[in-house]
Structure 1
């Protein structure tokens, strides 16, 4: 179905093309074909036993190679291609280093037994799988507006896998719940998601007005969580006091937690006050972690090797992001993403903004939102808030439609997959529709914003 949708986009683009872009050339058609095949391999990784990073990395790099070949054959100036790639490298590098630091902190917290301690405290209290399901989801929803949806999803999925490692009836709904909650929580905060941050920095809506999206985001998540909870077993995780040794945080673990909070604050301050990319604050936070590891070893002879923690992170997840962002950047350079913007004139802002949510799940919300902002259609603030919400929440419809989903797939490898997600995708769709209904009643009927 998704391949058919992409092919439909191709047909519509060729029909609508004025001949001023590259969508009707052989390189445009071949690159789109490469993207469709690569996307199919990513979506069906469990069927072919191929890691999603491999096809993503291939299609992301090969598309630009094909564009370069096309320019050479036709004797075209490649300066525009060079500028586009330079900009794309900068964009990818910012995301790459942001994720690198976030994943490193998580690995250090795992090594300091922070998550094992949290798991012990939760399970030892006799909480059922259903209660643990709601607790992890609620934490994801309310932490992501302060941290960000990806970091929140990585932390809570780590807690999830430490609670239970072998029960898919708990892990899969729990993973989906965390992804949906993290994305929904990030949608009503100016720095809870990359898309909201982009919209805020473009001055499409004031800082406080993003909070008006809370009812739509919250109720949409609650509906999805309730539907998912129907499939969560009612029993409790196995816990035997006589065999389960009490776990406590190792020395320095609480300080690392504090440094993690400081790092997130630094990332926000760099963006808001200093006009530096959030990645800069994250890397500064990594430097603080490394300095603390030196002090911990010197004074307390406690080893905290951050390089070992970096070696344990999911590098395939980072390479997947590189490939996907490069591939979408290539399609944008060819002119395909411009089609979504042209539809505003013919279909209307509300219809297109709702469709953006589905498109962001299939492609990626960051370049889609970037294309909308660059085109700058004439929309009122309520419409800009709508497209911000749909781009953020819509990514939950598919497992790798958002950064949070990709991060959780890496943490729950072989358990939370594209196929396992799609079995419950209808619950996410139900929540997405409810969010749209709440937005419409609040913004368009009651004018409560």
Structure 2
């Protein structure tokens, strides 16, 4: 995903979006970025969306502090947008494939709570930029031919990223195989697109060059976190933890909320996997409120800590966000959004059922 984003960036594909932004108000821009991130995350996965939107913000903003605040909001919006879509977040996808939820019902039940997760943090951060303005939107210096190539690569790149979750759902193959297929197709397109051009000009547009620009330390950091969590899962600690919660709390919504907060520390995938194994489908049948609530909390709870979600880890690497900065500035906002989502879910369930 990072390579495809780098490929779009090298072709100035994001200029097509930035040139359409007319506002110079940072507050309005934040609302636009939040909305776009939320919507894209439902189509793509939240990790890919976070990478795309962080790269887009970096093109528009110049001040370091602004980039950090926008990146924090991108993480919250990406995780919230992924929670209500069967294709947006890996935990929702797991519950969908496992038969615990159905696609239309999860969209209906979690759309409003997911929006609520974004609204409060977005309002608070937007107020910070109330009187602040962007100096100027970067002007594109591309030739008409370069703009045409950038448009083709942008559409193809986003299209193939959307294709990956569909590929996974249809073939039941691991997502990385779909992503490698998408990258291979992008390689073919760029080769055909730049056929006949001078070798010196061609180099910066190649997939090989894009691979060199990918932040490898961030990928290794992400891998280290996943390996550490997998180690806990392999010795059965996460399953035991789920058992303790079940015997101690004895309330579906308390268990779901706790698992959501734990997903900020421990990867949400093994937590949901353990829950799927613990709670019988006869007790909690398909589309039971518990499964819907679990999808909401484990999908959005990871925003509370920057390493609590794949989107957070990716953005941390791209923008070099300090762990303590995020904890001081964004974590409380993410928790407020998390609580707002829970309140809306419970209210909606009490009123509508």
TM-score (norm 2): 0.90
Partners in 1 of 2:96 and 2:276 — Cα distance?
11
Unaligned runs of 5+ in 2: none
Assess, with a 3 A threshold, how the Cα gap between structure 1 residues 265 and 136 changes in structure 2: closer, same or farther.
closer
Residue 269 (1) aligns with residue 196 (2): no
Decide whether the 8 Å contact of 2:263 with 2:271 is kept in 1: yes
Q: CA deviation at 1:120?
A: 4.4
Call closer, same or farther: CA 1:291–1:431 in 2, change over 3 Å: same
Q: Which has the higher contact order (CA 8 A, sep 6+)?
A: 2
Structure 1 residue 127 corresponds to structure 2 residue 21: no
Partner of residue 319, structure 2? 412
CA distance in 2, matches of 1:399, 1:323: 15
Q: 2 CA distance for matches of 1:330 and 1:341? A: 16
Measure, in 1, the Cα distance between the counterparts of 2:301 and 2:122.
16
Structure 1: state its 5+ residue gaps: 1-101
Q: What is the rounded CA distance, in whole Å, between the counterparts of 2:140 and 2:255 in structure 1?
A: 54
SS of structure 2 residue aligned to 1:423:
helix
Matched, 1:294 2:191: yes
Which residue is 2:298 aligned to? 391
Partner of 1:186: 82
SS of alignment partner, residue 43 of structure 2 = coil
| Match 1:374 to one of 257, 277, 302 | 277
Give the structure 2 partner of residue 69 of structure 1: none
**Equivalent residue for 2:237?**
336
- The alpha carbon displacement at 1:116 in A equals 4.0
- Equivalent pair of 1:194/1:366 in contact (CA under 8 Å): yes
Q: From 245, 253, 265, give the equivalent of 2:150.
A: 253
CA contact (8 A) 2:19 2:139 kept: no
Q: 1:376 and 1:227 mapped to 2: Cα distance?
A: 38
Deviations 1:347-386 (A, max 9, x none): 1222111001110001221222222223335435110111
2:41–2:81 contact (8 Å) kept in structure 1: yes
Matched with 2:307 is 400
The correspondence of residues 50-65 of structure 1 with structure 2, limited to 5 A, is: none
Aligned-pair CA distance for 1:176: 1.4
Q: How does 1:148-297 map to 2 (within 5 A)?
A: 148-168=45-65, 170-211=66-107, 212-232=109-129, 234-239=131-136, 245-248=139-142, 250-297=147-194
Contact kept in structure 2, 1:109 and 1:256, CA below 8 Å: yes
| Number of equivalences | 338
Partner of 1:99: none
Q: Structure 1 pair 181/157, CA: closer, same or farther in 2 (3 Å)?
A: same
The structure 2 residue matched to 1:433, chosen from 330, 339, 344, is 339
CA offset at residue 233 of structure 1? 5.2
Report the equivalent of 1:313. 214
SS at match of 1:361: coil
Q: Which runs of 4+ in 1 moved over 6 A?
A: none
* Structure 1 position 299, deviation (Å): 4.6
Shift of 1:245: 4.7
2:343 & 2:284 partners in 1: Cα distance? Answer: 19
Give the structure 2 partner of residue 56 of structure 1. none
The Cα shift of 1:286 comes to 0.9
Return the match for 1:118 from 17, 23, 35: 17
Q: Which residue of 2 aligns with 1:32?
A: none
- In 1, Cα distance between the equivalents of 2:128 and 2:69? 7
1: CA distance between counterparts of 2:272 and 2:222? 16
Give me the CA root mean square deviation.
1.9
